[in-house]
Amino acid sequence: MKKFLISAAIVSLVSVPAFANTADKSDAEIRAKVQEHIKTIDTNADGSISKAEHDAASDRMFSEADTNKDGQLSLDEMVAKKQSKKAKMDR
Ligand SMILES: [Ca+2]
Ligand SMILES: [Ca+2]
Protein backbone atom coordinates (compact mmCIF):
# COMPACT_ATOMS: atom_id res chain seq x y z
CA MET A 1 0.00 0.00 0.00
CA LYS A 2 2.78 2.40 0.95
CA LYS A 3 4.60 1.55 -2.30
CA PHE A 4 1.41 2.33 -4.25
CA LEU A 5 1.03 5.68 -2.51
CA ILE A 6 4.63 6.63 -3.26
CA SER A 7 4.19 5.57 -6.90
CA ALA A 8 1.04 7.69 -7.13
CA ALA A 9 2.90 10.62 -5.60
CA ILE A 10 5.72 10.28 -8.15
CA VAL A 11 3.20 10.29 -10.99
CA SER A 12 1.64 13.38 -9.46
CA LEU A 13 5.03 15.08 -9.12
CA VAL A 14 5.96 14.49 -12.72
CA SER A 15 2.67 14.79 -14.56
CA VAL A 16 0.60 17.54 -13.06
CA PRO A 17 2.71 20.34 -11.59
CA ALA A 18 1.27 22.87 -14.02
CA PHE A 19 -2.27 21.94 -13.03
CA ALA A 20 -1.87 22.11 -9.26
CA ASN A 21 -4.14 24.48 -7.37
CA THR A 22 -6.27 25.30 -10.39
CA ALA A 23 -9.65 25.22 -8.66
CA ASP A 24 -9.72 28.98 -8.06
CA LYS A 25 -8.08 29.99 -11.35
CA SER A 26 -9.73 31.04 -14.62
CA ASP A 27 -9.20 29.12 -17.86
CA ALA A 28 -6.95 31.95 -19.08
CA GLU A 29 -4.82 31.77 -15.93
CA ILE A 30 -4.54 27.99 -16.21
CA ARG A 31 -3.63 28.30 -19.91
CA ALA A 32 -0.94 30.86 -19.12
CA LYS A 33 0.52 28.63 -16.40
CA VAL A 34 0.55 25.61 -18.71
CA GLN A 35 2.21 27.64 -21.49
CA GLU A 36 4.81 28.83 -18.98
CA HIS A 37 5.39 25.20 -17.93
CA ILE A 38 5.64 24.01 -21.56
CA LYS A 39 8.36 26.58 -22.27
CA THR A 40 10.56 24.96 -19.62
CA ILE A 41 10.11 21.50 -21.20
CA ASP A 42 9.97 22.31 -24.93
CA THR A 43 13.72 22.48 -25.41
CA ASN A 44 13.57 22.67 -29.24
CA ALA A 45 10.85 25.37 -29.01
CA ASP A 46 8.57 23.73 -31.61
CA GLY A 47 5.49 24.31 -29.45
CA SER A 48 4.90 20.68 -28.50
CA ILE A 49 6.41 18.20 -26.08
CA SER A 50 8.07 15.12 -27.53
CA LYS A 51 8.45 11.92 -25.53
CA ALA A 52 12.18 12.66 -25.24
CA GLU A 53 11.47 16.19 -23.92
CA HIS A 54 8.91 14.78 -21.47
CA ASP A 55 11.35 12.10 -20.29
CA ALA A 56 14.16 14.66 -19.90
CA ALA A 57 11.86 16.90 -17.83
CA SER A 58 10.82 13.92 -15.73
CA ASP A 59 14.47 13.01 -15.10
CA ARG A 60 15.22 16.64 -14.19
CA MET A 61 12.31 16.78 -11.74
CA PHE A 62 13.39 13.50 -10.18
CA SER A 63 16.96 14.75 -9.75
CA GLU A 64 15.74 18.04 -8.24
CA ALA A 65 13.52 16.18 -5.77
CA ASP A 66 16.22 13.63 -4.85
CA THR A 67 18.02 16.09 -2.60
CA ASN A 68 20.28 13.50 -0.93
CA LYS A 69 21.15 12.02 -4.38
CA ASP A 70 20.58 8.39 -3.36
CA GLY A 71 18.57 7.59 -6.50
CA GLN A 72 15.36 7.19 -4.48
CA LEU A 73 12.56 9.61 -3.62
CA SER A 74 11.58 9.42 0.02
CA LEU A 75 8.23 10.66 1.28
CA ASP A 76 10.00 13.66 2.86
CA GLU A 77 11.69 14.56 -0.45
CA MET A 78 8.38 14.30 -2.33
CA VAL A 79 6.57 16.42 0.26
CA ALA A 80 9.35 19.03 0.08
CA LYS A 81 9.08 19.08 -3.73
CA LYS A 82 5.30 19.46 -3.57
CA GLN A 83 5.61 22.30 -1.06
CA SER A 84 8.15 24.03 -3.28
CA LYS A 85 5.82 23.70 -6.30
CA LYS A 86 2.86 24.97 -4.25
CA ALA A 87 4.86 28.02 -3.16
CA LYS A 88 5.74 28.77 -6.82
CA MET A 89 2.12 28.29 -7.98
CA ASP A 90 0.76 30.58 -5.23
CA ARG A 91 2.96 33.48 -6.33
CA1 LIG B 1 9.39 20.27 -28.56
CA1 LIG C 1 16.61 10.58 -2.06
**Residue 71 falls within a domain, yes or no?**
yes
Question: Rounded to the nearest whole angstrom, what is the distance from the C-alpha of residue 80 to the centroid of ligand 2?
Answer: 11
Instruction: Report which residue type is found at 51.
Output: K
The one-character DSSP state at 17 is: G
> What is the pTM (predicted TM-score) of this model?
0.61
Q: What mean pLDDT is predicted for residues 64-85?
A: 96
Least confident among 18-22, 47-51, 69-73, 76-80: 18-22
**Residue 79 falls within a domain, yes or no?**
yes
pLDDT of residue 72: 98
pLDDT of residue 39: 93
Give me the domain span that covers residue 43. Answer: 26-89
Q: How far is CA 20 from each of CA 43, 75, 85, rounded to the nearest angstrom?
A: 22, 19, 8
- How large a percentage of the chain has pLDDT more than 90? 62
**Residue 20 falls within a domain, yes or no?**
no
Question: Rounded to the nearest whole angstrom, what is the distance from the C-alpha of residue 72 to the centroid of ligand 2?
Answer: 4
Number of structural domains found in the chain: 1
pLDDT of residue 23: 76
Question: Rounded to the nearest whole angstrom, what is the distance from the C-alpha of residue 63 to the centroid of ligand 2?
Answer: 9
pLDDT of residue 22: 67
Question: Rounded to the nearest whole angstrom, what is the distance from the C-alpha of residue 1 to the centroid of ligand 1?
Answer: 36
Mean of the per-residue pLDDT values for the chain? 83
Q: What mean pLDDT is predicted for residues 26-54?
A: 94
Identify which ligand lies nearest to the alpha carbon of 57. Answer: 1
pLDDT of residue 31: 94
